Amino acid sequence: MRALARGLLVAAMFSVVTPAYAQLVDGPLGSTGGVFGGHRAINPNRSAQTFEMNVDLGGGYDREPNAIPIGLVGSGLDSGWPVADGMISTSYRVGHLRRSFSALARGSVNYFGNTHIPLLGGGAILNGVTTFGRLGLNRLEVNVNASYEPSAAFGAISPAPPVGQAPPLSIAPEFGVTEQRWFNMNGSTVYRHHWSARHQTDLLIGAGQVQPVADAGLNSEWQNATISQRWATRSGFDLQGSYRFDQSRQMDETASLPDGQPVVESGPTRYQTATIGVHLGRRLSAARRLSVSLSGGVTQLLLAGSASGEEFHPAVSLSFEFIPARMWALSMMASQQVTVMAGVSASPVDNKNFALTLNGTVLRRLHLAVTGNYMKGTTLAGTAMSHTAATGGNLGLQYGFKRSFGVYATYSYYHHRLENGLPTAAGIPPLYDRQSARVGFTLWLPLYGTF
């Protein structure tokens, strides 16, 4: 398990994150190093390949007060239970700076003491990157992701990962409602063209599907496209502009009305967003860096069957990152945007979201990661206004005995509350709390290639 808190990937709705879990900070792109990361950088101009495996085993305790029916509170039933989980993940990469291919795969098992049923899961990610043109000014990246998640995290329909970064593989316990099971498949293509050393254009096209396996949740299909421009007017200062179009459709295929029609079936929800912004980056010293991004714009929501046919809502985001020392990083993100909860509700919401991440090295081998996030959403369709709130956080520590072996401990918390006015799929709990504690070990195995 590498990269403790590489990612707090904050989803736009339910603020669901890909948890850090006892991982370490990644080294530079193309580096290797096992548990610690960044041990040695591979020459980016020479073709190389690596094949590695990570084994993660852990256990602990989960507590969910809402697991007991209200009428049985105080009856002596236990709202907590022991848990155990394990994951084997493999990663293969071949190529160099101009052209590369990588494949990541994982298999996991989660055992919860309240159900005594092991939940199996897995996933795979394929990523290909190539640069072409006489001067290498064109870049094409393709991502394909398929997974079966036995402990699903609810989240908004999101675009592909940032250009140049493969999406991470999550490790249980997930944030969100762990009793749900989902099949997720999505893909994206990103094309980048450098018009000059200071001007570039990115075009992103993505599509995917989130499908419930059990009897709760909505079958969600989505597509989006984004075009963005970036101009570096001077050193450390960029102007940015983007346009994005989103379309999604959600339907409950597990239940139907007496006439045979689905209980929840939405027509296509479409909205388009245009933003402009700035990015400021400043190197304060050899080790300290500061970067700030601010953007603002408007989202036009196209509501099928509404009186006006369209509505306008603000789209604002602010991100901040501060590197106070070589092995420490602090980041913050705040945003307001229109989104749709994949698998939960067909109603678009105006989402306000805040997230904070701190990670770094306490001692030479002891690494710390803290993440926290808060979300509040308000429905934008229908006659009744409804609010949704969610809070999540994670604290992780990992100690590396050597390059190939480390131990970890984590604590995570998740809470959400759905008001009755929000039309959701059957089986989605309106109130949910969960606390999880884990301890375990991680083993890194370099199997083949350059390390």
Write out pLDDT tens, residues 322-345: 999 888 899 999 999 888 776 666
| Cα 119 to the center of its chain, rounded Å | 21
- Output the pLDDT for position 4: 37
Q: Which amino acid is at 30?
A: G
451 contacts 31 by C-beta, under 8 angstroms: no
How far apart CA 352 and CA 73 sit, in angstroms, is 34
* pLDDT confidence of residue 378: 83
Peptide bond into 173 cis (omega under 30): yes
String of DSSP letters for 427-450: T--SEEEEEEEEEEEEEEEEEEE-
HEC profile for 196-219? CCCEEEEEEEEEEEEEECCCCCCE
Q: What is the pLDDT of residues 418-442, one digit of tens each?
A: 776 666 665 667 777 888 898 999 8
Q: What is the pLDDT of residue 250?
A: 76
DSSP state letters, 264-309: SBPPPEEEEEEEEEEEEEEE-SSS-EEEEEEEEEEEEEE-TT-SSS
Question: Given the DSSP bridges, would you call strands 237-251 and 289-302 parallel, antiparallel or unpaired?
Answer: unpaired
**Identity of the amino acid at 63:** R
Q: What local confidence, expressed as pLDDT, does residue 239 receive? A: 94
Q: pTM here?
A: 0.78
* C-beta of residue 144 within 8 angstroms of C-beta of residue 137: no
CA dihedral defined by 22, 27, 32, 33, rounded to 10 degrees?
-50
Using alpha carbons only, how large is the chain's radius of gyration in Å? 22
pLDDT tens per residue, the chain (451 residues)? Answer: 433 333 333 233 333 332 222 222 333 334 456 776 655 556 667 888 889 998 889 899 988 766 544 443 443 445 788 888 888 989 999 998 889 999 999 888 888 787 777 878 888 999 999 999 877 789 999 999 898 876 544 444 433 333 333 333 333 334 455 556 678 888 999 999 999 889 999 999 999 887 877 656 677 888 999 999 999 988 889 999 999 998 888 777 655 544 444 455 557 788 899 999 999 999 998 889 999 999 999 999 886 544 445 688 899 999 999 999 888 899 999 999 888 776 666 678 888 888 898 988 888 888 888 988 888 888 886 656 778 888 888 898 888 888 888 898 988 888 888 776 666 665 667 777 888 898 999 888 999 887 7
pLDDT score for 64 = 78
* Placement of tokens 């509350």 in the chain: 417
The predicted structure's pLDDT at residue 75: 38
Taking residue 387's Cβ as centre, other Cβ atoms within 10 Å add up to 14
Contact call for residues 419 and 383 (beta carbons, < 8 A): no
